[in-house]
Amino acid sequence: MTLNRRTLTTAIAAASLGALLPAAALAQKKIVLGFSQVGAESEWRTANTESIKSAAKDAGIELKFSDAQQKQENQIKAIRSFIAQKVDVIAFSPVVESGWETVLREAKAAKIPVVLTDRSVNTKDDTLYVSFMGSDFIEEGRKAGRWLVEKMKDQKGEVNIVELQGTVGSAPAIDRKKGFEEIIKADPKFKIIRSQTGDFTRAKGKEVMEAFLKADGKKINVLYAHNDDMAIGAIQAIEEAGMKPAKDITIISIDAVKGAFEAMIAGKLNVSVECSPLLGPQLMSAVKDIKAGKTLPKRIVTEETIFPMEVAAQEFPKRKY
């Protein structure tokens, strides 16, 4: 395109007008959200990442996404980089609960609001973040415990449980253990005979279950896995040991991802407690509310249910993750 003098003058005038009208220009400016994700350790996490990315796109929010590969130091680095880039809002799902005060204080000093999604932090100062949205992990553990107590109500002797814990120090690992124990302690026949982390991954779930089977084999009556991926890994280990998952060993897990439904339909997993990863739309509307100066609730709890294997085939077509 060739510019004549008149178009050039008009273009320069428009450009200087833009510089003189920061308020109007700002109204058009996209909101920038910095999001630090835990990693890609599970089917749940993949669905959560997808939910955040697509919701940001739908909401017209510019997303700066960073994958921490399950390392807290990477999350801290990402948050510091978001601060340096002066993003409008920072959101993150903290890999572990503790050790966030310093970086959260830095965000506060930079006047950048922080939203916690999925997992919480255990800071004493709750002014360091605006809102925490996600599941009630203690309640998820309780749901798993209640299902087991009901299932085994007529069982006389001991019920030996092995537990595959999530990532050490993470909110879901701490809380799901707590909620489950709170329920089963009412009856001394329930005994957790082994409990170890499988880091929320299939590979680790399989590896740790192999070790449990080597040590206790037929003594094991129940497996309680803090997520579906570890349960699916453990199912492989149980089959390779010549036992029948969901029959020889009752298996309870958490998340209710599609992989768990497939396992339930195949008769290999007894029950999965729902934990929804679809937090993207809620996060984007929170980000917009913050920018509009609205006050958000400090805690937004996701509503969830529980799916025993008997309903899996009927529920499967409705599942979104």
CA angle 119, 287, 116 (to 5 degrees): 15
Question: Any contact of residue 227 with ligand AHR (CB under 6 A)?
Answer: yes
Contact 228, 205 (CB under 8 A): no
Q: What would the two tokens of residue 237 be?
A: 């280990």
Q: Which CB atom, from 31 or from 234, has the smaller least distance to ligand AHR?
A: 234
Please provide the DSSP assignment of 238-305 as one string.
HHHTT--BTTTBEEEEEE--HHHHHHHHTT---EEEE-----HHHHHHHHHHHHTTPPPPSEEEPP--
Q: Minimum distance from CB of 50 to ligand AHR (Å)?
A: 14
Question: Any contact of residue 163 with ligand AHR (CB under 6 A)?
Answer: no
Q: Among the candidate windows 40-48, 108-116, 182-190, 239-247, which touches ligand AHR by CB under 6 A? A: 40-48
Q: Which CB atom, from 31 or from 164, has the smaller least distance to ligand AHR?
A: 164
Q: How many CA atoms lie within 13 A of 55 on its CB side?
A: 21
Q: Which CB atom, from 83 or from 226, has the smaller least distance to ligand AHR?
A: 226
Question: Any contact of residue 117 with ligand AHR (CB under 6 A)?
Answer: no
**Nearest Cα to Cα of residue 45 among 130, 139, 160, 134:** 134
Contact 234, 206 (CB under 8 A): yes
Give the one residue of 119, 143, 206, 268 binding ligand AHR; rule: CB under 6 A. Answer: 119
Q: Which CB atom, from 141 or from 172, has the smaller least distance to ligand AHR?
A: 172
Question: Any contact of residue 223 with ligand AHR (CB under 6 A)?
Answer: no
Q: Minimum distance from CB of 229 to ligand AHR (Å)?
A: 6
Interface with ligand AHR by CB under 6 A: which residues? 41-42, 44-45, 118-119, 172, 200, 227, 229, 254-255, 275
